Chain A
């Protein structure tokens, strides 16, 4: 069961704004989803599995050619003076 307070807390963590009028419905939906997910706790026969260590190869920590600044800023509306622009008008 997810209360509206818990939902507000989760939304804050996830940086989502949930309109007041939608909270009741969403809390109910989330409760159903959590109840469905909680089913994993009933898998009692499973012994504590040793989790696989992460594999995969890491590349050498070395400087590599990167993208041009203006190319990267293109998806951020162009930025300003080679910087990302926040809390301002584009």
Chain B
């Protein structure tokens, strides 16, 4: 599958269409489709058109384009954009307008990226369905009665529904990969530290990582190459190791060993199992060797993940007091009441539940039993994943056990947490992982497969994903009839 990014830039150079014309097409598409899908929560028409003008000017003077120059895209609404509201889809931040740009947006703006708007998400990125957004959830372009997943559901729906060429989301426990899988597009969670988190509103700082959502693997590689840079303002930032991933996509995967993780395949729906078996055959056809891998410790991954994520969330969200920024209640007596009312009225139910759990596992008497235990498990899981990856190049599993859920379906928190089974190990181990479309179920809903690699192994990950996509002719990637013709 030829990527859209390269194709669009070729069109610009051949003058088939100008950047402004393309941007206007996307803006028109947004106008007609977004009210139904709820993919974007804010549109940045002027910003987009003014960037497009700059691109056209540079094209006229014959300048070489930057890799993402002129490409219409969206940013998840937890990425700070100076002068453009950044709400995290929470009542808490409805009036918040950042006074600085996130590192990633600063960098993209410097490349004249065309920002179409900010994409919908679960409130503060806490959720797997997108439904905890204070703006209401996002619909899945493949079936609007279903969710687009979460938490980066808006970005995934925008790419899947052809409302944007690519989206940048954040992945704390699967928030880029799961919505990509639900909407039939590609989602990459890079190695922790490769993309700067400066200006990404913190949820769980030791897991959060920004990653691209694209229609093809080639596009994911191009975006990843462009955004993986060291940034001194994020002390955990290390940047990319090795050369550009996009240059290695064509390499043969003959002789690669891929481990199928038994524990992550258990409980998957028959259609998901079936699609994964077919995918293995395709990979074997390309010369890869599939071996079975058992990593028993992964059965503890979910609990460990939720303890640590909630602990960090309760600490990170402690800064919201409604005084320096954020929701301020209308009536209050004391400063204590002002803070408590700001938090209770500003945060939604799921956010409050996670803050309470985080407070519980960090409180005296429970810290050792829960938080410390979970930290030890994280270290052990990381070690086991590294050991498994010492015996093979990549690990294979489904992204989720099922396809997209029906909107409004009643699920308990614990039931919802279980849907993250396959995605959280990569965050615990700080490993890169990619979600690639690999089939459809009987209702025509997309299924995704996940490839997980060693730290800084994005190049191999993208290479295998690309070869797989090519071998299947890209038949599983988004082929929706509507959308912008390019």
Contact = CB atoms under 8 A, between A and B. Distances in A.
Contact of B340 (A2, A16, A41, A74): A16
A78 B40 CA distance: 29
Contacts of A29: 353, 412-413
Nearest to B370: A37
B95 to A, nearest CB: 8
Interface residues of A, number: 45
Contacts of A63: none
A32 to B, nearest CB: 5
B357 A40 contact: no
Contacts, number: 136
**For this complex, into which size category does the number of interface residues on chain B fall?**
35 or more
Nearest to B314: A14
B414 A40 contact: no
Contacts of B321: 15
A86 B356 contact: no
A3 to B, nearest CB: 12
B332 A87 contact: yes
Interface string B414-454: 10010000000000000000000000000000000000000
A61 interface: no
23 contacts: A2-B360, A10-B356, A10-B360, A14-B355, A15-B336, A16-B356, A17-B340, A26-B353, A29-B353, A29-B413, A33-B353, A36-B302, A40-B370, A41-B369, A41-B370, A43-B377, A46-B297, A57-B232, A59-B232, A67-B100, A84-B324, A86-B323, A86-B335
Interface of B: 95-97, 99-100, 232, 235-236, 297, 300, 302-304, 306-307, 314, 321, 323-326, 328, 332-336, 338-341, 343-344, 347, 352-353, 355-357, 359-361, 363, 369-370, 373-377, 379-380, 383, 412-414, 417
Interface of A: 2, 7, 10-11, 13-18, 26, 29-30, 32-34, 36-43, 46, 48-52, 56-59, 67, 71-72, 74-77, 84, 86-87, 90
